[in-house]
Amino acid sequence: YVGRLFGPSLPGNHKYCLRFYYALFGFMKIDNALALYVYDENNIAQEKLWTVSERSKDVWTQVEVTYLKPMPTK
C-alpha cells in the first residue's frame, strides 16, 4: 500500500518541525512500512527525513521531525 500526503511549498533557510501521529495495525515487517521524505519544487524526493524504527504496538504514536534545508521544499 502507498499513501501520500502533500503539503504546501515551504521557503528555504527556515527550521521546520513536522508533527504527526501514526499507527501500523497488523504489520509484521516494518522495513519501509512508513517513511517521511522532503521533496523539491519539482516533486522529486530529496531526502528521507524519518522512517518507522519499531512496531507501534497497535497504538497511535506521535512523531516530531525537525529539519532545515537551504532550498524550498514540500
Phi, psi of 32 (to 5 degrees): 60, 20
Contacts of 40 (CB under 8 A, 6+ apart): 46, 71, 72, 73, 74
pLDDT tens track for 14-71: 999 999 998 877 766 666 678 888 888 888 888 899 988 776 677 888 999 999 988 8
CA-wise closest residue to 36 among 45, 25, 44: 45
Number of CB atoms found within 10 A of residue 73's CB: 22
Q: What is the mean pLDDT of the segment spanning 3-7?
A: 77
Predicted TM-score (pTM) of the model is 0.74
